[in-house]
Amino acid sequence: MYSIGIDIGGTFTDAAVVERGGSRAVLAKAPSTPGDYLEGVMAALEDAAAQLGIGLRELLGAADLLAHSTTVTSNVLWTRSGARVGLIATRGFGDQILIMRAIGRVAGLSLAERRHYRRTDKPPPLVPRSRIAEVAERVDSAGEAIVPLDEAGAREAIRMLVDGHGAEALAVGLLWSFRNPAHEERLRELAAEEAPGIPVSLSSEISGRLGEYERTATAVLNAYVGREMAGYIGRLTERLASAGLDRAPLIVQSDGGLTPPERVVPVRTVESGPAAGVAGAARLSGELSKPKLIATDVGGTTFKVALVEDGRWDLADETVINQYHVFVPMVDVVSIGAGGGSIAWEDGGRLRVGPRSAGARPGPACYGAGGEEPTVTDADLLLGVLNPENFLGGRIGLDREAALRAFEKNVAPRFFGGDAAEAAAGVRAIIDAQMADLIRRTTLERGSDPREFAILAYGGAGPAHACAYAAEAGIGEVIVPYHATVLSAFGAAAAGVRYTLERSLTAFPPGGAETLAEGFADLEAEGGAMLERAGVAAGDRRIERWCAMRWRRQVHSLRVPFPEGKIGAEALERVSADFGAEYALRYGEGSAYTEAGIEVTRIWIDTRGPSLPPRDVRAPEKTLSADPEGARRVHWGPGTGWRETPIFGGPALPAGAGIEGPAIIEYPGTTIALPPGAEALIDEAGHTHIRLEVAAPPAAAPSTGEAP
């Protein structure tokens, strides 16, 4: 039996096929097909089947799971090609989605971008004022309906939005609806009568949290992307069934879990690819007995960082999508504009790298597709890190002369006296320093010591830079998984059904046990029913409780695990102590205003089914020295310069092979740059374990995500 994961990227569509009880995963790639993404999906599956020596129908017929992380919702948002949405709000509050809590102008922007305030603006509205209707109703903060819903006015509003303004989907965001959703639910019934078949997104269902603007924005975004997502899932299910899959595919959600097609909430699939990558990193954490990993993903435009501790990842408290603050359970991934396509440019006499990117089109200058500005990939090529004949398995031939012209024209004359190689080395040093700075901020500012972690490097450019940014951050261990370039697809295959459910409430420990017990009981019953509908047997279900706590009279809260079992004084005492310890770790001893007391503001559960059982991968031991396949000159940075460097073919390296740096290890989809003084060992699963000699990390400093 096989578990299959699919992930669509901007350039390639990836597939990972894991045989139950087998060894290495089969890794497959095919060019992404934006005109119809299903063509790229099927091509990747065909490639995987061919590697296994079987037909596609045989592969799909033997699959007990096919999971798919999708970019459909992200593409709809970035291209603004969603449905025409109509919004129904409580009378007097129709403008709140346009006011955006007065933070929409700078939401999601870096500090550097905010400094140019005159260049900032609100995003184009997803719902113009003409498609916002208000209805008479009111629910108070206790959930009591103090003004009944005006049904006649509601029917008129629905007809006006659909018939008068052409709304193709409706979003409903009423005051305090998460306390009492009756009015929102009745509006859905009325919409079914007045406009049969129109999809309706209720804020109380999609985001049961305090926050009128954020709940409404979440419902609007869900309505906006829902039509395209539903169409894609329908086509995907039908195409796979006709090709031999006898079960419905599962869709990766932004919290890192899987859900059946009928349970998909479209807005909860935004950034499902990075979420699947973190899920894959969490599985590797267990396989490799590495309880603390920093998952680092270097793609074409961004550098993403997430912390994995004891096989768990954090969820972001809120997310900014297209400058809208929304409540979507999303893996806490921090990113900056630093990747292979990041452009080197002059800013007031200083050399900067990123956040502007050449993207996939035209891409770096060396792609030969019209790009003329120097990028990180161009620098790696000029420095000898990349093989122009073997980039992405030979699918893209790199033009060294084009990269050289880009540096000689734009960077080398201004900063390095015309020396293109030194300019490329400088660009590489800057981008590596930016990545290291993000790692320091992600760990140190959360009370964690980066030296206690190992770096997990994946993505197309991650392994080429990982040793450099790890050393810069003071981290001495780097792991490059065998499936580094398809880790998101692997994570999809390894993940299990998972739902994150939450509720806003208020409790003041040591009191409030009854309120918390009732809230958790409701969430756990709902989560159990969802798992049952997804086909997860009762004995396979797992539930983890969490709560958000803060010192009273403060704004920010912290996420704290809530103990299993009976909720009483003992449980509240324990979770309060855990919160106090976490607060001191994060902000320093003595920083809390303890006299104010503790407040619980929100609770949630992660309820999930079984995932692909992890393997036990033994720590690697050197049993032989690998033989290189060739050599080339590689520039290893200031103080080392050019060195004749042995080149190794990664897929051919056996378990126990040891390699001493400097060395280049080439895989079909990525390249590992092993610097002088480092040592790499290959384990039985094909993962590369690297040891570095590093100094203590410097303290984190405020950063704009750009070069200093």
Residue 506 corresponds to which tokens in the numbers above? 């208020």
Helix (H, G, I), strand (E, B) or coil at 706: coil
Q: How confident is the model at residue 251 (pLDDT cuts 50, 70, 90)?
A: very high
Cα–Cα distance for residue pair 135/90, rounded to 1 Å: 5
Residues 113 and 190 in one domain: yes
How far is residue 326's CA from residue 216's CA, in Å, rounded to a whole number? 8
What pLDDT does 706 receive? 36
> Does a structural domain hold residue 528?
yes
Residues 429 and 338: their CA atoms lie apart, in Å, by 12
What average pLDDT score do residues 290-303 get? 91
d(CA 600, CA 603): 8
Give the residue from 608, 631, 659 where a domain finishes. Answer: 608
Same domain, 425 and 502: no
Residue 702 in this model has a pLDDT that exceeds 50: no
Mark whether 113 and 195 lie in a shared domain: yes
Kindly state whether residues 221 and 83 are assigned to the same domain.
yes
Averaged pLDDT, 316-328: 84
**Residues 282-292: what's their mean pLDDT?**
91
Spatial distance between the Cα atoms of 287 and 341, rounded to a whole number of angstroms: 32
Mean pLDDT of 555-568: 89
Q: List the one residue out of 598, 601, 608, 606 whose CA is nearest residue 503.
A: 601
| DSSP designation for 695 | P
* Residue 379 in domain: yes
Q: Quick one: angle between helices 513-533 and 569-587, nearest 10? A: 90
Residues 503 and 409 in one domain: no
Quote the domain boundaries for residue 224: 79-230
Q: Write the DSSP string, 23-54.
A: SSPEEEEEE--TT-HHHHHHHHHHHHHHHHTS
The answer to whether residue 586 scores a pLDDT higher than 90 is: no
Domain membership of residue 557 (yes or no) is: yes
Distant-in-sequence, close-in-space partners of 10: CB < 8 Å, separation ≥ 6 = 32, 71, 300, 359, 360
pLDDT at 323: 85
Sorted by sequence, the CB contacts under 8 Å of residue 516 that are 6+ apart come out as 505, 507, 547, 562, 567, 572, 600, 603
Task: Look at residues 608, 626, 660 and tell me which one is the last residue of a structural domain.
Answer: 608
Confidence class of residue 22 from pLDDT cuts 50, 70 and 90?
low
- The Cα 607–Cα 526 span in angstroms is 10
CATH number, domain with residue 181: 3.40.50
Query: Mean pLDDT score of the chain, rounded to an integer?
Result: 90
Q: Indicate whether 35 belongs to any domain.
A: no
Residue 458 lies in a domain: no
Residues 202 and 118 in one domain: yes
Alpha carbons 681 and 291: distance in angstroms, whole number? 20
Which of 383, 410, 429 corresponds to the end of one domain? Answer: 429
Concatenated DSSP letters for 429-450? Answer: HHHHHHHHHHHHHHHHTTT--G
pLDDT at residue number 707: 33
Pairing of strands 454-458, 477-480: parallel
Q: Are residues 407 and 525 in the same domain?
A: no
Q: 424 and 508 share a domain? A: no
Domain assignment present for 3? no
What pLDDT does 366 receive? 93
Token readout for 410 is: 């734009």
Other beta carbons less than 10 A from residue 420's beta carbon = 22
Q: Range with the lowest mean pLDDT among 39-48, 104-113, 240-249, 634-643?
A: 104-113
Residue 247, both tokens: 């079960």
Least confident of 134-138, 371-375, 605-609, 610-614: 610-614
Which of these, 249, 270, 234, 292, lies nearest to 72 by C-alpha position? 270
Whether residue 88 is found in the same domain as residue 218: yes
417 and 509 in a single domain? The answer is: no
In a domain, 693, yes or no: no
Q: pLDDT tens for residues 52-107? A: 999 999 999 999 899 999 888 888 887 888 999 999 999 999 999 999 888 888 88
| Token pair 């880790």 in the structure block, residue | 487
Which pLDDT band holds residue 699 (cuts at 50, 70, 90)? low
- Kindly report, residue by residue over 466-484, the tens digit of the pLDDT: 999 999 999 999 999 998 9
Is 356 domain-assigned? yes
pLDDT of amino acid 701: 44
For residues 387 and 528, membership in a common domain is answered with: no
pLDDT of 708 reads 29
Token reading at 78 = 């970035």
Please give the pLDDT value at position 290. 93
Q: Using an 8 Å Cβ cutoff, are 467 and 665 in contact? A: no
Q: How far, in Å, CA of 261 to CA of 421, rounded?
A: 51
Average pLDDT over residues 508-537: 91
- Number of domains into which the chain is organized: 3
The C-alpha atoms of residue 502 and residue 562 are separated, in whole angstroms, by 13
C-alpha span between 115 and 101 (Å, rounded): 20
182, containing H or E segment: helix 182-194
Determine the average pLDDT of the residues in 218-229: 94
